Amino acid sequence: MDFQDTPEQAAWRQEVRAFIENERPSEYDPDRGMQGEEGPPRNEAWYRRWQDKLTERGWIAPAWPKEYGGASLGVMEQFIMNEEFAEARVPSGSIGNGVSMLGPTIIAHGSEEQQEEHLGRMLRGEVVWCQGYSEPGSGSDLASLQTRAIRDGDDYVINGQKIWTSGAHYSDWMFMLARTDPDAPKHRGISYFLLDMETPGITVRPLVNMGNMHNFNEVFFEDVRVPAENIVGEVNRGWYVGATTLDFERSSIGSAVAHRQTLERYIAYWREHQDGVSNPEGVREAIAERWIEASTAKMLSYRVVGMQAAGEIPNSEASIAKMFSTELSQRIAGTAIKMLGTAGQLNGGADAPFEGRLGAGYVASVSATIAGGTSEIQRNIIATRGLGLPRA
């Protein structure tokens, strides 16, 4: 990995920085995040202005080809843009899972009608998408899913259940996997559907986590009719369709930068309040360890993007970066509670440190090593594909 930008990369970095400096939305509070229980602020004027400016440049989906509304950016250009957005703590403009997951799938496998209907609205933030993959008995072993879709004339009739469906309570559409051939081998009898969430027979039930936050949901399907034309790709080939991705920039640089920024805020607080802590040396050592680990996470991100820029496939390396970053987020949350002591138990209130957000953040961090592939799954990938060990 060459840590120095080429002249072209330096010019691109400066272009991104200048755009952020001139156009950043002053109304956005990065400490509170963009998305709450009611979803992103897609109807607020400041967010629409910001999103429109990104859309004009193709920066909502920078990896997409220009003919589909993207910017056709290369790996390093994407990396630099993501890094600068993370450093400036501005929103990416992408809402839900549509741009990052569904968009590349429709570009690669969708019909012209599907591309025309969905891609533009996705980029403009007019439609929010959620993902219908996991089921109560099918998480890590997703190919064992049991939600059924049976052909009936021009429609498929879907019955079953999905779980851990992030944002289903405010999403407009869902992309989902359902079993269309129960007699086929489990990877070969699955189809990929696009589903309007207003379709009769869909019930969304909230799942409130132990931090008292509502992000996840259970979704039930009872005789839900979906037009056959809403299948993406071939019938019974949905497993392979769903594996598609065109955005190969998987460095997690945004998380690495966010870890360092979080620690900077904690260090500033610590310098003012350390006299009231019972074990200042222990807290100081813990913060120092987290800082070193945040620097390590950044280097792992650089390793991934360096491989991609060289035309290599960072398989186990991406898993290492993901696993290390998510486990680090839990350690940082634990260090914050250690720093605050009993005040870390406060949940809200203007007089509480950090307005009482760190206690809820500590509890919510439990899910970090589950979402997007558990640490156990990542370790299996590292062992088999990285170290060449036999499958357990």
Could you give the residue numbers annotated as active site?
249
Q: Mind spelling out the 3-state secondary structure of 91-107?
A: CCCCCCCHHHHHHHHHH
Distance CA 303, CA 301 (A): 5
> In sequence order, what DSSP letters do the residues of 99-140 get, joined into one string?
IIIIHHHHHHH--HHHHHHHHHHHHTTSS-EEEE--BTTBSS
- Spatial CB neighbours of 118, under 8 Å, sequence gap ≥ 6: 98, 102, 106, 110, 127, 173, 194
Distance CA 148, CA 141 (A): 17
CA 185 to chain CA centroid, nearest Å: 30
- Spatial CB neighbours of 8, under 8 Å, sequence gap ≥ 6: none
Query: Can you read off the two tokens belonging to residue 207?
Result: 């799942």
Cα-Cα-Cα-Cα dihedral sign, residues 261, 267, 272, 275? positive
CB-CB contact of 390 with 319 (8 Å)? no
* Selection from 16, 99, 78, 79 nearest residue 53 by Cα: 16
> In sequence order, what DSSP letters do the residues of 42-67 get, joined into one string?
TTSHHHHHHHHHHHHHT-SSTTS-GG
Query: Can you read off the two tokens belonging to residue 154?
Result: 């021009």
Query: Can you read off the two tokens belonging to residue 347?
Result: 């949940």
